Amino acid sequence: MKCVVLAAGEGKRMHPLTYTQPKVMLPVANKPILEWNMLHAKQAGIKEFIFVVGYRYDAVRNYFKEGEQWNVQINYVNQGKPQGTGHAVHMVEPFVDDFIVLCGDTIFGTKDIQNILQKKQSIGICTVPNPSEYGVVETKDGTLIQIHEKTKRFFSDEINAGIYHFDKTIFNSLALVQRSVRGEYELTDAINDQTKQKSFQAIQIKGWSDVVYPWDLLDANREMFKNIDFKRDGEVEDGAVLKGDVKVGTGARILTGSYIEGPVIIGENSKIGPNCYIRPYTCIGDHCHVGNACEVKDSVIMHHSNVPHQNYVGDSIIGSYCNLGAGTKIANLRLDKHSIKVYINGKVVDTMRRKLGVLMGDNVQTGINAQINVGSIIGNGSYIGPGALCSGSFAPHSRIY
């Protein structure tokens, strides 16, 4: 049995984080989304993978190589110009027979993958509060009738979860698929064709973490904390306080005066403290520094980033290789306490979150006493000058004074 993982997309709704890396490589609990799926599929019994790559594919290949580190076999198919999920699956026809497909930017649980493996001609479905973001499924007695893509009539809150078990006949249906209104070849059109010919089982998915917008990483982070082994391999100095589940990576140093309330993950070779406060559900990457008089709460700080001097970071995503100047403060709560709206890709989106700080791309630098307002989006390579107020959405390589 082979597992085909669709990992070619950019993930435009994940800007600014995906300007510099594919969506599947964004970290959740310090592992790329794609790694979680590979590990869970391996636990379900799969040893052979095909990654369909495209956008910034070198990031995937350089990280996973041929899979030896995880004792699995990984082969790659380059989709080239993105032409939809149907096109992506069609490209693996010469290499598969009976196989499963995972959408690589959604994390699936081991048990759910096992259930799909056991049921030929099956699709995973999931109940969600916001079906408008997905394809709504129509089922009867556990059998799929049809997938309704981006329908305006929400007769159900059950959606296509993005995990499938196919046999070779799916390629007959894919050969018939025409471009959709989006100009793409849709896998769901082929599945709808299959349902006219044979029974397609709908299997309820339970361990499912989807990441649509950048702030969804915060929720996925919380969910994946349940699967972490909170070992303390690094150095914890006398005078540091670690309460609850705190993972300390190899080579990390927790200095005197640091106060950490778990669950928290500290990556390898990171330096924490002295005299800082890290609050629950924070994930700090490898080679990071959180320094004196800083407070970090419910945030993701990616590899090689620094929050070193008198900073506050709450409910935020900080990309890789960022540096916050002394006194930089990030607001995470509106004065009127209403949910926070963001301006992303030319559209205002209600995050439905009461607290949200900044969504910061890679290689962003701030000057001393910079201020960042709630729900701000800062593109990669941007500079925020000393004492500047940053509020709203900023393109990559912006200069804010």
Among 181, 212, 243, the domain-final residue is 212
- Mean pLDDT across the chain: 95
What integer is the mean pLDDT of 216-234? 94
122 forms beta bridges with 165, 201
- C-alpha–C-alpha distance, residues 259 and 294, integer Å: 11
What's phi and psi for 5, nearest 5 deg?
Answer: -115, 120
Where residue 90 falls (left for φ over 0; alpha for ψ -120 to 50; beta otherwise) is alpha
Q: Give yes or no: residues 240 and 163 share one domain.
A: no
pTM of the model: 0.94
Q: Give yes or no: residues 172 and 294 share one domain.
A: no
**CATH number, residue 336:** 2.160.10.10
Question: Which structural domain, as residue segments, surrounds residue 112?
Answer: 2-212
Q: Give yes or no: residues 80 and 10 share one domain.
A: yes
What integer is the mean pLDDT of 249-269? 98
Q: Give yes or no: residues 196 and 229 share one domain.
A: no
pLDDT band (50, 70, 90) for residue 152: low
Residue 153 predicted with pLDDT over 70: no
Q: How many domains does the chain have?
A: 2
Q: Give yes or no: residues 314 and 396 share one domain.
A: yes
Q: Give yes or no: residues 281 and 342 share one domain.
A: yes
For residue 81, what pLDDT is reported? 87
What integer is the mean pLDDT of 203-230? 92
- C-alpha–C-alpha distance, residues 266 and 202, integer Å: 39
For residue 154, what pLDDT is reported? 66
More confident residue, 341 or 127: 341
Reply yes or no on whether 165 is catalytic: no
Two tokens, residue 358: 């900044």
Query: Residue 8, SS3?
Result: coil
> Domain for residue 219, yes or no?
no
Q: Tell me the percentage of the chain whose pLDDT exceeds 70.
A: 99
Q: Give yes or no: residues 105 and 176 share one domain.
A: yes
Give 99-128 pLDDT, tens digit per residue.
Answer: 999 999 999 999 999 999 999 999 999 988
Long-range CB pairs of 149-153, under 8 A, 24+ apart, other chains included: 149/180, 149/186, 149/188
**Prior bond to 274 cis, omega within 30?**
yes
Which of 157-166, 196-205, 249-258 reaches the highest mean pLDDT?
A: 249-258
Q: Give yes or no: residues 198 and 242 share one domain.
A: no
What integer is the mean pLDDT of 247-265? 98
> Domain for residue 46, yes or no?
yes
Give 50-62 pLDDT, tens digit per residue.
Answer: 999 999 999 999 9
Among 212, 246, 272, the domain-final residue is 212
What integer is the mean pLDDT of 297-319? 98
pLDDT band (50, 70, 90) for residue 367: very high
- For residues 305 and 366, the answer to whether their CB atoms sit within 8 Å is no
For residue 98, what pLDDT is reported? 94
Q: Give yes or no: residues 192 and 247 share one domain.
A: no
Which residue from 334, 335, 297, 336 is spatially nearest to 318, judged by alpha carbons? 297
Give 372-383 pLDDT, tens digit per residue.
Answer: 999 999 999 999
Q: Give yes or no: residues 232 and 134 share one domain.
A: no
Q: Give yes or no: residues 86 and 183 share one domain.
A: yes
Residue 303 predicted with pLDDT over 90: yes
Set 304, 309, 338, 397: catalytic member:
309
Q: Give yes or no: residues 128 and 64 share one domain.
A: yes
Among 212, 239, 272, the domain-final residue is 212
**CATH number, residue 14:** 3.90.550.10
> Domain for residue 14, yes or no?
yes
Residue 197 predicted with pLDDT over 70: yes
**E strand intervals along 128-281:** 135-140, 143-149, 158-166, 201-204, 208-210, 235-236, 241-243, 246-248, 253-254, 259-261, 264-266, 271-272, 277-278
For residue 128, what pLDDT is reported? 86
125 forms beta bridges with 160, 204
